[in-house]
A and B are shown apart, each in its own frame.
Chain A
Amino acid sequence: MATITVDAERIVYLTELTGMRVDGPNGRRIGRVREVAIAPSEHPHRVSRFLIGSGKTPFMVRYDQVKSISMDGIQLADDHFVPYYPDEGLLLLCKDLLDQQIVDVNGRKVVRVNDIALRIIAASERDELWIQEVGVGLQGAFRRLTEGLMPSAWIRDVQRRIKPNSIPWDFCNIIEPDPRRRLKLHISHDRIGSIHPSDLADIVEELAPAEREALFETLDEHVAAEALTEIRPKIQVSIVESLDKERAADIIEEMAPDSAADVLSELQNETSQGILKDMEQEPAAEVEELLEHEEDTAGGLMNTQYIALHEHALAEDATEALRGNDNLLATLTHLFLIDRDEHLVGTVPVAKLFIAEPRLPLRDLAILDPISVDLDADEETVIELFDKYNLFALPVVDDDDELCGVITADDVISVLTPDP
């Protein structure tokens, strides 16, 4: 959105708008504005309906019946009114937006709406009102508290001195728990999907359960999986339980097996079995294997997604293997060398491959006889090894010295960070 030089004369705040007088075509007084609504499926910014009058059923005016809008009031072009009945396709600004929580996509946090600034736009032969921004700071709060208690001009004068804190309408994301209404209101969470999963997790934790579900139902599976990984265990459980089984399975499938196992181990047995059944076979098997280990042992910490090559493989084989596993590359630091019986032989730092000749045997790059840990070693041991040997990745082996998985530094950091 282009920056608009704010011309204070053309801005009306929702607090001022409600209670503003409305006059008919011949100057006849009709009533006062009670509520305004936008119809997001028609236009994302434009106020599309004005509800006028008090009582049980106010009447409704469409935006194209309005002739002019100013601080002194609203002039209508005709006087054909219809009674207002609740309509799921309308977003009522006072009822659905004011005082509610919204997600500030740009600031990546949950905020509460104090006031809404609308802009008077001159269309051909009539005025329209467009939502410009949502006030979440003291400015809006001050206006809400004082409106009606002192003249509007004074309020504007004082509020000019307060530091503004507002979010452009385009960066606001409303959270509507009712899926039918969400569809009618054209609320999508595309923008939310672009927030970093860790920030998204913080946002989700601040919301009430119904709103969390709403968000998770609409997020892309991949994004949902990454965000779910970062959320506190207790909230993870409530989210997964609230989703239907297939959706939960789809999301958990996208998670790294160790995180998926962590989530499933927190769930009730029936629920987790149900989800596992709905998952694809391969990820389900990996997760099930991990679930067998106690949570606070090396087996419980490890991840089964790693790249292992035969001990006589060459550097070019390794490059090939990396190409085939591009989903792991973002965080991969080491490759593993194993013998025919899957015994761990060595580890190869990925970076060394860059300077290696394609035909060079990996053994020459490897750290042979590397530090490893037993499946049932406790967390303390793992942490000590990481600290003592300054590790990034620690291979986990079973009793026969066969490679089972790998613990990475981020797993250890998660253990060391106290749960809030």
Chain B
Amino acid sequence: MLKRLRQRILVYLAVLGPGVITAVVDNDAGGIFMYSEAGARFGYTLLWTMIPVTVILIITQVMCSRMAAVTGKGLSDLIREEFGLRTTFFVMAALLLVNLTNVTANFAGIAGSLELFGISKYFSVPFGAILVWTLVVRGTYRTVEKIFLVASFFYLSYAISAFLVQPDWTAAISASVTPVVSLEGPYLVLLIGLVGTSVAPWMQFYLQASIVEKGVDIKQYPESRTEVIVGCIVMAFIKFFVIVACAGAIWSNGPREIHDVSEAAEALRPLGDYAYILFSAGLFNASLLAASILPLSTAYSVCEGLGFESGVNHRFSEAKVFYWLYTLLIAVGAGLVLWPNFPIVRMILLSQVLNGFLLPVILILILILANRRELMGKWVNSPIYNLLAYATVAIVIVLSVTLTLVSG
């Protein structure tokens, strides 16, 4: 019995990583900004989006994890093999652009969070960029994944800072299960943003590739699926705590708009240094983690799809395109933050527009792939799963296109 239990735990540990990392990185600097704003302006009312977002995330992510376990191939490999070079090329070009803006946003997050501690961005951003670059180029995939996993635990800082703020927990919990739809403009925009950006194109690529890298096969798939689902739930809790912290600290003292995450952190200051420090540290951690994973995942997906050697297990001379792409993503992403007067806000809006175009394409490709019998065999989507998946994809597409139109 004990031995069985031990073996079970070992199996879970063996598949641990991809799902949790993907889901928590979904709460990157951009995500945390949106949650902070939701909390600051509308208090607890938007908390109900947490449950539908988790469901949407689970439905899309589980499809990718199943494809990884069945085919042993990454999403970009599958797109290339099933849809040809032209489709792959355009998807990869768009992914590269979208992710570059995401990388920039997260370096901006690093700069913003460390400025709260009085560290100049001219020091923090280059330092962060070098740290991220060395970590991946000098480390092996296994150590890198372990570091990412450990970093995922630091998201707990949001939970602690939420407790320190002493919010109205009963209100928070009841709001989590009470959907409120208001046609008030800003509320609607935030609502669409919270749901529409919960699924990002890079996540599908990163998740599927890292499950393949783990060597998960169809026998381990049930554990891997559980891990993916747990990851999505963890993500929802982080989101919950960020919204609650901002609702408790800002909204309860008078609702207001915030312009960046640092403002949210500042607002926590009167409630004590710890809440403030933890919130800022959480932001730094989230930005740094996303700034490490996004360039890596992008370079990997692009190279796999277009047929270049890729992966941190290759030497520089063997995988030149991979390392150059990776290096450029970091250098350009970090460089743009340091560029005086660079219109970062406009760039983030642009990224949302591109995202709105790319996401529907990728979700539809995933649906087609997950239903292809010659690829998936008996592991194609079941009719019920398909119903849920089509509904999810339709919702996400409508919301992200609406968001694109609103922000554009």
Which A residues are within 8 Å of any B CB, using their own CB?
A: 98-100, 109, 111-112, 114, 136, 141, 144-145, 208-210, 234-235, 238, 418-420
Nearest 3 interchain pairs by C-beta: A112-B307, A208-B72, A420-B313
Q: At the interface, yes or no: B85 with Cβ under 8 Å from chain A?
A: yes
Given A100-B81, A209-B72, A235-B215, verify A144-B307 contact (CB < 8 Å): no
* Bound complex: CA A141 to CA B88 (Å): 11
When distances are taken between beta carbons in the complex, the residues of chain B under 8 Å from A145 are: 85-86, 89
| Inter-chain pairs besides A99-B85, A144-B85, A420-B140, 5 sampled, C-beta below 8 Å | A100-B81, A112-B306, A141-B85, A418-B140, A420-B313
Judging by beta carbons under 8 Å apart, are B215 and A208 in contact? no
When distances are taken between beta carbons in the complex, the residues of chain B under 8 Å from A144 are: 84-86
Given A141-B306, A145-B86, A208-B71, verify A238-B215 contact (CB < 8 Å): yes
What 0/1 pattern do residues 49 to 87 of B give for CB contact below 8 A with A? 000000000000000000000011100010011001110
* Bound complex: CA A113 to CA B115 (Å): 49
| Minimum C-beta distance from A141 to chain B (A) | 6
* Bound complex: CA A349 to CA B217 (Å): 47
Given A114-B307, A141-B306, A144-B86, verify A420-B72 contact (CB < 8 Å): no
Which B residues are within 8 Å of any A CB, using their own CB?
A: 71-73, 77, 80-81, 84-86, 88-89, 140-142, 212, 215, 217, 306-307, 309, 313
| Minimum C-beta distance from B207 to chain A (A) | 17
When distances are taken between beta carbons in the complex, the residues of chain A under 8 Å from B142 are: 419-420
* Bound complex: CA A111 to CA B309 (Å): 8
Judging by beta carbons under 8 Å apart, are B84 and A98 in contact? yes
Given A208-B72, A208-B73, A210-B72, verify A111-B307 contact (CB < 8 Å): yes
In the complex, the chain B residue whose C-beta lies closest to that of A420 is B313
When distances are taken between beta carbons in the complex, the residues of chain A under 8 Å from B313 are: 420
* Bound complex: CA A114 to CA B308 (Å): 12
Judging by beta carbons under 8 Å apart, are B86 and A136 in contact? no
Q: Can you sample 27 A-B contacts with CB below 8 Å?
A: A99-B80, A99-B84, A99-B85, A100-B81, A109-B309, A111-B307, A112-B80, A114-B307, A136-B307, A141-B85, A141-B306, A141-B307, A144-B84, A144-B86, A145-B86, A145-B89, A208-B71, A208-B72, A209-B72, A209-B217, A238-B217, A419-B140, A419-B142, A420-B140, A420-B141, A420-B142, A420-B313
In the complex, the chain A residue whose C-beta lies closest to that of B214 is A234
When distances are taken between beta carbons in the complex, the residues of chain B under 8 Å from A136 are: 307
In the complex, the chain B residue whose C-beta lies closest to that of A148 is B86
* Bound complex: CA A238 to CA B77 (Å): 20
* Bound complex: CA A208 to CA B73 (Å): 6
In the complex, the chain B residue whose C-beta lies closest to that of A112 is B307
In the complex, the chain B residue whose C-beta lies closest to that of A268 is B7
Contact of A234 among B77, B80, B215 (CB under 8 A): B215
In the complex, the chain B residue whose C-beta lies closest to that of A137 is B307
In the complex, the chain B residue whose C-beta lies closest to that of A211 is B72
* Bound complex: CA A169 to CA B342 (Å): 51
* Bound complex: CA A235 to CA B71 (Å): 15
In the complex, the chain B residue whose C-beta lies closest to that of A233 is B215
When distances are taken between beta carbons in the complex, the residues of chain B under 8 Å from A209 are: 72, 217
When distances are taken between beta carbons in the complex, the residues of chain A under 8 Å from B307 are: 111-112, 114, 136, 141
When distances are taken between beta carbons in the complex, the residues of chain A under 8 Å from B141 are: 420
| Minimum C-beta distance from A111 to chain B (A) | 7
| Minimum C-beta distance from B308 to chain A (A) | 9
| Minimum C-beta distance from A30 to chain B (A) | 25
Q: Which of B73, B217, B306, B307 has the most CB of A within 10 A?
A: B307
When distances are taken between beta carbons in the complex, the residues of chain A under 8 Å from B89 are: 141, 145
* Bound complex: CA A109 to CA B314 (Å): 13
* Bound complex: CA A98 to CA B82 (Å): 10
When distances are taken between beta carbons in the complex, the residues of chain B under 8 Å from A141 are: 85, 89, 306-307
In the complex, the chain B residue whose C-beta lies closest to that of A115 is B85
| Minimum C-beta distance from A318 to chain B (A) | 42
When distances are taken between beta carbons in the complex, the residues of chain B under 8 Å from A238 are: 215, 217
In the complex, the chain B residue whose C-beta lies closest to that of A109 is B309
Given A419-B142, A420-B313, verify A99-B215 contact (CB < 8 Å): no
Q: Which of B71, B85, B309 has the most CB of A within 10 A?
A: B85
* Bound complex: CA A107 to CA B217 (Å): 29
Contact of B85 among A111, A114, A210, A235 (CB under 8 A): A114
When distances are taken between beta carbons in the complex, the residues of chain A under 8 Å from B84 are: 98-99, 144
* Bound complex: CA A100 to CA B77 (Å): 9
In the complex, the chain A residue whose C-beta lies closest to that of B143 is A418
| Minimum C-beta distance from B170 to chain A (A) | 48
When distances are taken between beta carbons in the complex, the residues of chain A under 8 Å from B88 are: 99
* Bound complex: CA A235 to CA B309 (Å): 19
* Bound complex: CA A52 to CA B311 (Å): 41
| Minimum C-beta distance from A35 to chain B (A) | 13
| Minimum C-beta distance from A212 to chain B (A) | 8
| Minimum C-beta distance from A330 to chain B (A) | 27
* Bound complex: CA A114 to CA B86 (Å): 10
Judging by beta carbons under 8 Å apart, are B81 and A99 in contact? yes
In the complex, the chain A residue whose C-beta lies closest to that of B84 is A99
In the complex, the chain B residue whose C-beta lies closest to that of A210 is B72
Q: Which of A112, A145, A419, A420 has the most CB of B within 10 A?
A: A112
* Bound complex: CA A79 to CA B73 (Å): 43
| Minimum C-beta distance from A118 to chain B (A) | 18
* Bound complex: CA A136 to CA B308 (Å): 10
* Bound complex: CA A311 to CA B127 (Å): 64
When distances are taken between beta carbons in the complex, the residues of chain A under 8 Å from B71 are: 208, 210
